[in-house]
Chain A
């Protein structure tokens, strides 16, 4: 009986870092207060001042985002109503007039004095960070160091009869052994993208699942375009391009993919994108076998203005029949919450404007000084 080959990335069990796990805060959408376990008086002062600054700017960004969020229409193919319900909780809370608006008001006054506090704030921030008084999720004390060179585990369901190959950046290959419901990608010692290719041949049905993993080590001196462009299987979905080294897929971003059969592009073929959060989208390849998808912004309980390091997976899949043989292919990858949820361009422009005014003022003072001289 045909059972679909499924590839998923397992979190490394040795890592218990807060950043690797979806926190209870995001599940409950409740903000935990920052810890204050430090004794140094200077750091205490720094923490107080910076918390005020941090909360105020975040509140201001939140208030700005609300007006846009109300107008925003979500274009999702599937469960639209569910998604809206997921989103409604944090948005409804944000519209309560008390906290957000007060924080916004605080910030309005604060922005006027921003220039004066910016440099001391930076200096105090460094001492505060060193003392571990920052956001507890990001403080060094809360986050054990990651061993970026450790082996990665990938779960592979229905893997009976499948073969798995690891493609290195220089296109050399290494067979991987399936065991305990998955494969372990060894540390190759080479820095760059590697491709894990799982293949299964049912006779009249050939199945391929590909996943690109970034491994750390010495420089590979190979462009990832070489790996993405190589023919690794009969029928494959290749990223066009892969996120650049040290970057990732993020929700709301649009990425391109190429469908190739025996190395040749396949036009007019339906491709499905499915995420582990339950979203699904479909698109048809163009004449060059290329298709573009916007990755859904489908993480539940997002808190605007607050960093969220959760990740989920999306799978692109397609099927093609040639003669008596049916080919199916999947591309599996992780994606993260888009940073625009906690990075505000409007506030950035405002601060650039303040800087510009400050520069103009300084220039004027200098001109006056120059004339006197």
Chain B
């Protein structure tokens, strides 16, 4: 690939197309839930977006915990009948997931695309972007996604279905998910951007959801992928990541320990890509298979994006040099640098 056309640009084109399809594609696929493509998409495509073409798998999971499994456990019915819808949804999810693995996060997810778009704006506004968060902070954040998955996607809906919590906690993750507000706003719908005073639970959840949405917008200007780090979908992907056909493969070289450019390029700040010298499959639990680490690896064939045994994209010194150059040029062009240049030109003229 050339300087002008690189993997990041290709990814952005795919992300943009996927955003259009999953947020507005209902015009093509249909209006009703039955018309949606899979109804178990491994990315945050929201069911509240009536114009969307698919919905994220976390929606049916919560619904099934609440209305199927929870009810069966509470009433003492056939447990297999209660769990069967969840297994069917999981099967559909896995069929899709196997094809692209965690690339659903890095290449498809509308919320991921939005955060990268905000990051782009932050960069062009000249807001200093953190190449890496402190390692300690990254490590502290990692368990949050598991909490989100186990408590918000499975735990609370299950307890609601069992009659232990009120109905408003049947879909707690959806109530705080920024994708719900983002995708509905993208279609001109403001009904999800509300504070719901129906009762204490709806009030707290709506406050939390709105607050989180604002927080993510602001953080995305300066920090890379702030919500992805705590997203329960990432945790769900992590469970099945060994099954995916697309993988990040590392053939460690002695230079790896001293370099660390891959870890700096990683939007999820996965330091292990650089430090792990043993593993061959380095599709770590936080990896979104965006491929930036491969782009910024200066050594030949050390990092590879492989589809089963077929290498799709391989690190090389030539590509690295071009990519690094284009990235530097791109980052120089921002509002603050523009003002600085303008100021220096004016001063030069005055002298």
Confirm or deny: B204 has a beta carbon within 8 angstroms of a beta carbon on chain A. Answer: yes
Name the residue on A nearest B213 (C-beta). A352
Q: Assess A54 versus B219: contact at CB under 8 Å? Given A115-B211, A140-B164, A356-B214.
A: no
Q: Enumerate chain A residues within 8 angstroms of B195, measured Cβ to Cβ.
A: 57, 61, 343-344, 347-348, 350-351
What's the Cα separation between A118 and B210 when bound, in Å?
11
**A-contacting residues, B150-175, CB 8 Å:** 156, 159, 163-169
A367 and B215 contact, CB distance less than 8 A: no
- B219 contacts A362, C-beta separation under 8 Å: yes
Are A343 and B31 also in contact (CB < 8 A) when A122-B204, A369-B134 are? no
A contact residues, total (Cβ < 8 Å) = 68
B194 & A343 in contact (Cβ 8 Å cutoff) = yes
Cα-based distance from A356 to B130 in the complex (angstroms): 18
| Known contacts A343-B194, A345-B190; is-contact A220 B214 (Cβ 8 Å) | no
Number of interface residues of B (CB under 8 A): 57
Contact at A129–B194, with CB atoms within 8 Å?
no
A130 CB contact (under 8 Å) in B50, B165, B223: B165
Nearest B residue to A114 by beta-carbon distance?
B207
Q: Known contacts A54-B199, A138-B167, A354-B214; is A225 also within 8 Å of B35 by CB?
A: yes
The docked-state distance in angstroms from the alpha carbon of A224 to that of B221 is 42
Instruction: Judge if B128 is at the interface, Cβ distance under 8 Å.
Output: yes
Which residues of A (332-373) have their CB < 8 Å from a CB of B? 339-340, 342-345, 347-360, 362-363, 366-367, 369-370, 373
Q: Which residues of B contact A362 (CB under 8 A)?
A: 215, 218-219
**In the complex, which residues of chain B have a beta carbon less than 8 angstroms from the beta carbon of A236?**
none
Choice from A137, A148, A352, A366 contacting B211 with Cβ under 8 Å = A352
Q: How far is the CA of A359 from the CA of B222 in the complex (A)?
A: 9
Known contacts A140-B166, A245-B33, A369-B134, A125 near B204 by CB under 8 Å = yes
B120 at the interface (CB under 8 A from A): no
CA–CA, A180 and B74, complex, Å: 34
Q: How far is the CA of A139 from the CA of B167 in the complex (A)?
A: 9
Q: Which residue of A lies closest to B176 (CB)?
A: A122
A278 within 8 A of B: no
In the complex, whether A16 has a CB less than 8 A from a CB of chain B is no
- Whether the Cβ atoms of B204 and A138 lie closer than 8 Å is no
Contact yes or no, B214 A352, CB < 8 A: yes
B194–A357 CB distance below 8 A: no
Q: What chain B residues lie within 8 Å of A148 (beta carbons)?
A: 67
Q: What secondary structure prevails in chain A residues at the interface with B?
A: helix
Residues of B close to A223: CB separation below 8 A: 30, 32, 34-35
Binary interface profile of A, 126-159, with partner B (CB < 8 Å = 1, else 0)? 1011100011011110010100100000000000
- Is B213 within 8 A of A355, CB to CB? yes
User: Which A residues from 200 to 228 make CB contacts under 8 A with B?
Assistant: 220-225
Q: For chain B residues 126-163, which have a beta carbon within 8 Å of chain A? A: 127-128, 130, 133-134, 156, 159, 163
When distances are taken between beta carbons in the complex, the residues of chain A under 8 Å from B198 are 135, 138, 306-307, 339, 342-343
Q: CA–CA, A12 to B319, complex, Å?
A: 69
**Least distance between B183 CB and chain A CB atoms (Å):** 15
Say yes or no: A359 contacts B194, CB within 8 Å: no
- Whether A363 and B222, one on each chain, are in contact in the complex, defined by CB atoms closer than 8 angstroms, is yes
Structural contact, B218 and A244, CB atoms closer than 8 A: no
Bound-state CA distance A292–B133 (Å) is 53
Q: Tell me if A328 counts as interface (CB < 8 A to partner B).
A: no
Taking beta carbons and an 8 Å cutoff, which residues of A are in contact with B? 50-51, 53-54, 57-58, 61, 114-115, 118-119, 121-122, 125-126, 128-130, 134-135, 137-140, 143, 145, 148, 192, 220-225, 241, 244-246, 305-307, 339-340, 342-345, 347-360, 362-363, 366-367, 369-370, 373
Which B residues are within 8 Å of any A CB, using their own CB?
30-35, 50, 67, 71, 74, 127-128, 130, 133-134, 156, 159, 163-169, 181, 190-191, 193-208, 210-219, 221-223, 226
Taking A118-B204, A355-B218, A362-B219 as given, write out 7 further A-B residue pairs in contact, using a Cβ cutoff of 8 Å, ordered by the A residue number. A129-B165, A129-B200, A139-B166, A221-B34, A343-B197, A351-B214, A363-B218
